[in-house]
């Protein structure tokens, strides 16, 4: 099972389903022949895209080329060249000699007993539990080889710390962080996106080499080709900026017709870069500049990708962005700003999140050209988020609590039952306005009336708040003897909060689409 020669990847092309090798896959991406990777999970797709982009970039740099459209023979020779003295061994999925590397599997240096054996790709993958997605562990009882490959790449290039002996990657702010993948895309096909990413990655390389990371432009790319005893570490000075890392000690073995992944403990991370807080020149990973202290790699909270975070990414608001989040000169759009992340908890997965913002051709100059018009829109975008928070916490929340508690004169915001119910409806409200937020923002003209746009957004927020109130009135338990009082209090609290000074008092002369039931 050699990735350089054997047809291990199942793909869909114009000719139907095919099975091709890794070099053939790179050639096919260059000519737009691949429409789908069969067997890849959505949470693995961006990890594999980044892997292929770094891989192609490293080969092109070594050959002094810039064009990602190349033949399979070109890619095969380039991949062997990256392997150094280990040669094709580094591309074999199973190598019995533990003193030699295998694909994404380092030599172990000495005989040790495995700490665990993994029988399916889903169990190997970094997805520990499934919350808001359909993926379950041990789902693949008879896995294909490419499913093992995708799971291995996902684990080795995206994982954080997962308990003693299970270390995390360097492209992440601490072992308990995560690695969001953020990219501006103009071509949503697999090949088109990859080619555009490769071209911008090569330009980004020079930026990285000019910064004080200490990378070696001729350094190691394939981290797994070097032995790892679980304690030895590389520094960035040992590595090429396009290094493809591994964070776990794993070896595949055959047992009959089955593949089994054996895992081994590691006392230290493979790359010693903790003090950099994940800021190691990864162009897909925005750099957090807000707050005190040194810059750090962006970590997405357990709330996932929110409208506020996507707004910050869109405008580069206290975030350091790279060439992967911007168009090249001459690109005209439309563009899609894409983001994905797998948010982890303590030994669990809080969820896989993805978000896509379409930027129409006519708005490209505004968003990526800078100037006063962009600054004004950025200010309005912050105001829009603030108004959403006001509607949720100062208008909707008191109304829901009044209904739950039967219309008391003094609301108890520390009541656990009320808090539990409120969290359900708060999430509903956030989901609804978030779906409209960027549509509103992108529809704002270059020269706009600030007051008019505030009112237009307030109307959208009010519509969603009223819809949540209607659902709450029908669904929430209310003190039976005080139900009428609770409903009356809900209405009074909502509208008094709505028109209160500092909230939405400016809407008094506006029709806000009041529902007859509210």
- For 60-69, the pLDDT digits (tens) are 999 999 999 9
In this predicted structure, the answer to whether residue 494 has a pLDDT above a threshold of 50 is yes
Average pLDDT over residues 6-21: 97
Q: Is residue 423 part of a domain?
A: yes
pLDDT at 138: 45
Q: Is residue 199 part of a domain?
A: yes
Q: Is residue 4 part of a domain?
A: no
pLDDT at 408: 77
Q: Does residue 142 or residue 293 have the better pLDDT?
A: 293
Residues 448 and 331 in one domain: no
CATH assignment at residue 403: 1.10.132
Q: Which domain holds residue 475?
A: 370-507
58 band by pLDDT with thresholds 50, 70 and 90? very high
Q: Does residue 56 or residue 403 have the better pLDDT?
A: 56
Structure tokens at 66: 């810039």
| 166-217 tens-digit pLDDT | 899 999 998 789 999 999 999 999 999 999 999 999 999 999 999 999 999 9
Q: Please tell me whether the peptide bond between 334 and the residue prior to it is cis, using omega within 30 degrees of 0.
A: yes
410 band by pLDDT with thresholds 50, 70 and 90? confident
Extract long-range pairs of 157-164: CB within 8 Å, 24+ residues apart.
157/47, 157/50, 157/51, 157/244, 157/245, 157/246, 157/247, 158/47, 158/126, 158/342, 159/126, 159/247, 159/248, 160/344, 162/128, 162/344, 162/347, 163/347, 164/265
Residues 32 and 134 in one domain: yes
**Number of structural domains, the chain?**
2
pLDDT at 126: 65
Residues 314 and 396 in one domain: no
In this predicted structure, the answer to whether residue 162 has a pLDDT above a threshold of 90 is no
pLDDT at 146: 97
Distance CA 69, CA 124 (A): 33
Residues 338 and 430 in one domain: no
Distance CA 500, CA 445 (A): 29
In this predicted structure, the answer to whether residue 302 has a pLDDT above a threshold of 70 is yes
Last residue of a domain, one of 310, 338, 362: 362
32 band by pLDDT with thresholds 50, 70 and 90? very high
């Amino acid at each position: 099972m050699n990735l350089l020669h054997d047809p291990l990847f199942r793909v869909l092309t114009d000719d139907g389903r095919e099975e091709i090798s890794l070099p053939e896959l790179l050639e096919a991406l260059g000519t737009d022949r691949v429409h789908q990777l069969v067997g890849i999970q959505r949470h693995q797709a961006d990890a594999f895209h980044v892997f292929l982009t770094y891989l192609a970039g490293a080969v092109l740099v070594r050959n002094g080329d810039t064009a990602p459209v190349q033949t399979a023979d070109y890619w095969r020779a380039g991949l062997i060249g990256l392997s150094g003295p280990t040669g094709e061994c580094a591309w074999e999925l199973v190598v019995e000699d533990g003193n030699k590397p295998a694909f994404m599997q380092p030599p172990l240096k000495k005989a040790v007993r495995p700490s665990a054996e993994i029988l399916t790709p889903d169990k190997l993958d970094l997805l520990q539990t499934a919350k808001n997605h359909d993926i379950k562990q041990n789902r693949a009882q008879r896995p294909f080889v490419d499913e093992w490959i995708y799971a291995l790449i996902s684990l080795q290039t995206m994982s954080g710390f997962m308990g003693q002996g299970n270390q995390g990657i360097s492209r992440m702010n601490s072992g308990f962080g995560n690695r969001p993948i953020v990219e501006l895309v103009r071509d949503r096909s697999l090949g088109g996106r990859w080619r555009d990413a490769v071209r911008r990655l090569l330009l980004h390389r020079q930026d990285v080499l000019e910064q004080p990371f200490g990378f070696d432009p001729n350094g190691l790319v394939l981290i797994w080709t070097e032995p790892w005893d679980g304690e030895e570490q590389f520094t960035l000075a040992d590595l090429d900026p396009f290094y493809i890392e591994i964070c776990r000690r794993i070896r595949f073995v055959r047992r009959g017709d089955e593949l089994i992944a054996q895992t081994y403990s590691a006392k230290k991370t493979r790359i010693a870069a903790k003090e950099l807080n994940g800021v190691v020149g990864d162009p897909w990973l925005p750099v957090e500049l807000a707050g005190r202290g040194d810059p750090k790699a962006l970590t997405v909270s357990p709330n996932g990708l929110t409208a506020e975070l996507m707004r910050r990414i869109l405008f580069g608001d206290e975030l350091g962005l790279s060439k992967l989040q911007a168009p090249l000169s001459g690109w005209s759009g439309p563009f899609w700003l894409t983001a994905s992340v797998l948010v982890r908890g303590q030994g669990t997965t809080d969820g896989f999140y993805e978000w896509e913002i379409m930027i129409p051709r006519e708005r490209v100059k505004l968003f990526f050209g800078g100037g006063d018009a962009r600054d004004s829109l950025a200010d309005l975008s912050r105001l829009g988020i603030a108004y959403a928070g006001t509607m949720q916490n100062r208008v909707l929340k008191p109304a829901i609590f009044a209904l739950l508690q039967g219309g008391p004169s003094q609301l108890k915001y520390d009541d656990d039952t009320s808090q539990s119910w409120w969290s359900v409806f708060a999430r509903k409200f956030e989901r609804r306005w978030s779906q409209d937020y960027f549509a509103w923002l992108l529809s704002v003209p270059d020269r706009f009336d600030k007051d008019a746009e505030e009112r237009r957004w307030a109307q959208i927020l009010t519509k969603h708040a009223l819809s949540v109130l209607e659902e709450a009135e029908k669904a929430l338990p209310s003190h039976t003897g005080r139900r009428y009082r609770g409903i009356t209090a809900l209405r009074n609290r909502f509208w008094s909060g709505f028109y209160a000074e500092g909230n939405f008092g400016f809407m008094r002369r506006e029709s806000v689409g009041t529902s007859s039931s509210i």
